[in-house]
Structure 1
Amino acid sequence: MDLDHARTVAVEAAEAAGALVLAGTRGALGVRAKGGSGDVVTDLDLASEKLLLERILTAFPSHTVIAEESGLVGAAGGEWTWLVDPLDGTNNVAIGLPAYVVGVALCRGRRPVVGVVHDPVSARTWSAVRGRGARSSAPGSPTAVRLASPYAPRPHGPLLAWTQGYGVSRDDATARALTSAMELRARRVLRLWAPLLSWAMLARGDIDGIVGYRAEAVDLPAGALLAMEAGIEIRALDGGPFEECFDGTPDDRSFVAAHPRALPGLLDLLR
């Protein structure tokens, strides 16, 4: 398997889907409820996902795809599985907030080996191949710039992002305890409704850490791989090992992510 080719396919597909979404936000938007948790889906989610599925399955017809809206496409349990989030930040798009991205990951077995995040608004793409680092580029740019994650403590506490899965209820005791600890001791806590955008910000060094509670399986691997290849460390909430896999239980997708020098302080903050 040529992972550089897979990255190229994923980048080109994500950028094409992002162009479709960006154009669509300038017109009338079809929005409807999705599930019973207050989530929504738009016509742009479906159109973007259709494009991504066509691009990926044309290039890799024997692979499996798990997509945000379509679910499982192909047989489960194969060696290669693509994860597709066609519009991460749908709720933002629905209210006219320009904070959303397109995310794609390729997993071998349980773990991601390629991750791509494209921001249509800034026209930037971040991508990573396991063991080969992360990079950022503008669409069509002939060169790529490797990401960096510098860290210097902020004088009034860390700048953090919070993400949680759709299934987490408003009265979940763990979620309330975690967010209360963050609000009390952090300089600021961002709730972007677009986890992959938070991962890109962490990889760039714009924020100091992310705390995730029962995160969604489709978008976690791409963001986690991007951040790790940029130098970010990820741990379970108790400080133990964390695996950036798309299977397992929702609790397996609870984590703390930060620059290695910032991680001990963030774990202490949450305790």
Structure 2
Amino acid sequence: MSITDQALAIEAAEAGAAVVRSHYGSALTRFSKGADDFATTADIAAEKAILDTLRAARPGDVLVGEESGRTSTGDSGRMWLVDPLCGTLNFAAQTMLVAVNVALRSGTQPTVAASADPFGDEVFWTDGTAAYVRRGATDERLVPSADSKLVDINLYPPFPNEADFRTARMLADEDFGARFHLRVVASTLAVAWVAAGRRAGYVTDGNQLYDNVHFAAGIALCAAAGCVITGIDGQPPDAGLGGLVVAADEQTHANLLTSVQNQRS
């Protein structure tokens, strides 16, 4: 292997980000996935650039892309999870809040990962030990912080726990309103921002997020940065009720769980 896994993740994410930038503001063909979900020519072209980069360097690894699915039959025990354009609706509406996510799962959890902001000229990345943001040729260690009190809430489906919990109901929770300020970025870029200290926390419902192309990179970044990460019931993600609560510190995490539990009680 002439290139390290973390360098490859960064290279692949940057390749995807370059394609995303090149399509911004252009006429985008939409490909329906059902309901209100769709992909665009930018998603597909960015995914191809990412997968071509990974395949050239790691031909024996499994590749899983959001748009193309599993495109490799490798048996190395290593799986790359690729979300070429997280925030497609934002992008189609010419809103620059998107992310390009690349994560390597080796074993049970993502380790190496990169999440690129195509318009902020930043790549958040981790080697599985620590997390950094790269601007140009400079890497800066990510340090979580709850000082902003900003919490991003994912308001989009699916809602597997809606009988007991909906993220939208947190907006009416007095405890949440007294402690935090709501934001809705509508992209997993916000998960990387928790690792970077730009958000105090992030909350979403959902299942199997470790293997999810949208969330794997963000989870790996936050874990390496030292964030507190659980499901919405305080159990490990992908256990119990599932979902995801990412917080900059233990106190913020406890406060977010209280707001979640207020719905159940």
TM band (smaller chain) = 0.7 to 0.9
Asked if structure 2 preserves the Cα contact closer than 8 Å seen for 1:39 and 1:166, the reply is no
Measured on the aligned residues, the alpha-carbon RMSD in Å equals 2.4
Name the amino acid aligned to 1:49: E
- Give secondary structure in 2 for the equivalent of 1:261: helix
2:153 is aligned with 1:162 = yes
> For residues 166 and 67 of structure 1, do their structure 2 counterparts lie closer, same or farther at Cα, with a shift above 3 Å needed?
farther
- Give secondary structure in 2 for the equivalent of 1:26: coil
1:138 aligns with one of 112, 122, 135 = 135
**1:103-134: CA deviation from partner (whole Å, max 9, x where unpaired):** 0000102211101000011100000121x200
Instruction: Tell me the residue number matched to 1:31.
Output: 30
Instruction: Tell me the residue number matched to 1:180.
Output: 169
> For residues 78 and 162 of structure 1, do their structure 2 counterparts lie closer, same or farther at Cα, with a shift above 3 Å needed?
farther
Alignment of 1:43-122 (within 5 A): 43-75=41-73, 78-122=76-120
Distance 2:187 2:170 in 1: 22
Distance 2:155 2:6 in 1: 27
**1:203-250: CA deviation from partner (whole Å, max 9, x where unpaired):** 11122111120066112111011012112111121212336xxxx99x
Distance apart, 1:164 and its partner CA: 6.0
Name the amino acid aligned to 1:264: A
Instruction: Tell me the residue number matched to 1:261.
Output: 251
Distance 1:83 1:222 in 2: 8
> For residues 47 and 229 of structure 1, do their structure 2 counterparts lie closer, same or farther at Cα, with a shift above 3 Å needed?
same
Asked if structure 2 preserves the Cα contact closer than 8 Å seen for 1:182 and 1:269, the reply is no
Asked if structure 2 preserves the Cα contact closer than 8 Å seen for 1:87 and 1:103, the reply is yes
Instruction: Tell me the residue number matched to 1:14.
Output: 13
1:150 aligns with one of 145, 153, 166 = 145
2:125 aligns with one of 124, 127, 131 = 127
2:188 is aligned with 1:189 = no
Instruction: Tell me the residue number matched to 1:222.
Output: 217
Asked if structure 1 preserves the Cα contact closer than 8 Å seen for 2:229 and 2:247, the reply is yes
Distance 1:39 1:239 in 2: 30
Distance 1:164 1:85 in 2: 19
Name the amino acid aligned to 1:228: A
> For residues 136 and 181 of structure 1, do their structure 2 counterparts lie closer, same or farther at Cα, with a shift above 3 Å needed?
same
What TM-score do you get using the length of structure 1 for normalisation? 0.85
- Give secondary structure in 2 for the equivalent of 1:173: coil
Distance 2:159 2:251 in 1: 30
* Greater shift in the superposed pair: 84-93 or 201-210: 201-210
Asked if structure 2 preserves the Cα contact closer than 8 Å seen for 1:31 and 1:94, the reply is no
What TM-score do you get using the length of structure 2 for normalisation? 0.87
- Give secondary structure in 2 for the equivalent of 1:116: strand
% identical equivalent positions: 28
**1:154-203: CA deviation from partner (whole Å, max 9, x where unpaired):** 6xxx421122664338x943443x431344323432222212x0111111
Distance 2:67 2:183 in 1: 26
Distance 2:125 2:225 in 1: 10
Distance 1:201 1:69 in 2: 25
